[in-house]
Amino acid sequence: MDRELQHDVVILGAGLAGLRAAVEISRRLDGKVDIGIVSKVQLMRAHSVCAEGGTAAVLREDLGDSRELHAWDTVKGSDFLADQDVVRTFVDTIPKEIRQLDHWGIPWTRDADGYISQRPFGGHSYPRATLAADKTGFFEMQTLYDQLQRYRTFTRYDEFFVTDILVSDGGFAGLVGLDTGTGETVVIRGKALLIASGGGGCLYGFTTYSQTVTGDGMAMAYRAGLPLEDMEFLQFHPTGLVPSGILMTEACRGEGGYLRNNTGERFMGSYAPKLMELAPRDMVSRAETEEILAGRGFRSPEWGDYLQLDLTHLGAERINTRLPLIREVTIKFLGIDPIVTPIPIRPVAHYSMGGIETDITGRTRVANIWAAGEAACVSLHGANRLGSNSTAECLVWGGIAGDRIAEELPGLAAAAAVPLELATRAEDHVRQVRARVGNENLYALRRALRETMDSKVGVFRNGPDLASALQQVRDIRGRAARAPVADTSRVYNSNLIHALELDNLLDLAEVTVAGALAREESRGAHARRDFPTRDDESWLKHTLAFYTPEGPRFDHKPVTIDMWKPVERKY
Q: What is the pLDDT of residues 276-313, one digit of tens each?
A: 999 999 999 999 999 999 999 999 998 999 999 999 99
Supply the DSSP symbol for 359. Answer: -
What's the confidence (pLDDT) of residue 423? Answer: 83
CATH code 1.20.58.100 region(s) in the chain: 420-533
Cis peptide before 243 (omega within 30 of 0): yes
Angle between the N-to-C axes of helices 136-148 and 389-408, in degrees from 0 to 180, rounded to the nearest 10: 20
Q: Each residue of 448-472: pLDDT tens digit?
A: 999 999 999 999 999 999 999 999 9
- Distance between CA atoms of residues 189 and 166, nearest Å: 9
Asked whether residue 422 carries a pLDDT value surpassing 90, the answer given is no
Give the pLDDT band of residue 419 (cuts 50, 70, 90): confident
pLDDT > 70: what percent of the chain? Answer: 100
CB atoms within 10 A of CB 328: 11
Is-contact 259 267, C-beta < 8 A? yes
**Mean local confidence (pLDDT), 139-160:** 94
What's the confidence (pLDDT) of residue 508? Answer: 98
CB atoms within 10 A of CB 528: 20
Domain 420-533 has CATH 1.20.58.100: yes
Q: Is 253 a catalytic residue?
A: yes
Q: Which of 70, 119, 237, 461 is catalytic?
A: 237
**Mean local confidence (pLDDT), 381-408:** 97
CATH code 3.50.50.60 region(s) in the chain: 3-233+357-411
Supply the DSSP symbol for 317. Answer: H
Asked whether residue 1 carries a pLDDT value surpassing 80, the answer given is no
**Mean local confidence (pLDDT), 509-532:** 98
What's the confidence (pLDDT) of residue 268? Answer: 97
Element (H, E) at 13: none
Domain 3-233+357-411 has CATH 3.50.50.60: yes
pLDDT > 90: what percent of the chain? Answer: 92
Look at the domain 250-350 and name its fold.
Flavocytochrome C3; Chain A, domain 1 (3.90.700)
Q: Which of 20, 119, 253, 519 is catalytic?
A: 253
What's the confidence (pLDDT) of residue 44? Answer: 85
Give the pLDDT band of residue 570 (cuts 50, 70, 90): confident
Give the pLDDT band of residue 45 (cuts 50, 70, 90): confident
What's the confidence (pLDDT) of residue 262? Answer: 97
Backbone angles phi, psi at 24, to 5 degrees: -65, -45
Q: Is residue 215 left, alpha or beta, with left meaning phi > 0 and alpha meaning psi from -120 to 50?
A: left
Q: Each residue of 162-191: pLDDT tens digit?
A: 999 999 989 999 999 999 999 999 999 999
**What amino acid occupies position 363?**
R
CATH code 3.90.700.10 region(s) in the chain: 250-350
Give the pLDDT band of residue 330 (cuts 50, 70, 90): very high
